[in-house]
Structure 1
Amino acid sequence: MRFLICASLSLIISTSAASAADLTGDQIKEKLIGHTLKWKAEKYKVSGVTKYNADGTATSNMDGKPEVAGTWRIKGNNLCDKFGKQKESCTTRIDQIDDKVFYLEPYQAVSIIVD
Structure 2
Amino acid sequence: MLTFAKYALFGVAFLFTSEASFAANLTANEIKTEVIGKKWKWNKGKYYGTIRFNKSGSINVTTNTNIKKDRGTWKIKGNKMCTSYNKIRGGKERCDTYSKKGKKILASDGGVLSR
AA aligned to 2:79 is: N
In 2: Cα distance, 1:97 partner to 1:12 partner: 15
Deviation at 1:49, TM superposition (A): 1.2
Aligned length: 97
Find the counterpart in structure 2 of residue 4 from structure 1. Answer: none
Deviation at 1:15, TM superposition (A): 3.0
Compute the TM-score of the two structures, normalised by the length of structure 2.
0.73
Give 1:1-115 correspondences, 5 Å limit.
Answer: 15-17=20-22, 20-42=23-45, 45-63=46-64, 65-85=67-87, 86-91=91-96, 93-98=97-102, 100-105=103-108, 107-112=109-114, 114=115
Structure 1 unaligned residues grouped into runs of 5+: 1-9
CA contact (8 A) 1:47 1:62 kept: yes
Deviation at 1:62, TM superposition (A): 1.3
Deviations 1:65-100 (A, max 9, x none): 432111110111001111114111110x211112x2
Larger radius of gyration: 2
In 2: Cα distance, 1:54 partner to 1:111 partner: 17
CA contact (8 A) 1:16 1:97 kept: no
Compute the TM-score of the two structures, normalised by the length of structure 1.
0.73
Q: Using CA pairs below 8 Å that are at least 6 residues apart, which structure has the higher relative contact order?
A: 1
In 1: Cα distance, 2:44 partner to 2:77 partner: 21
In 2: Cα distance, 1:25 partner to 1:14 partner: 22
CA contact (8 A) 1:21 1:97 kept: no
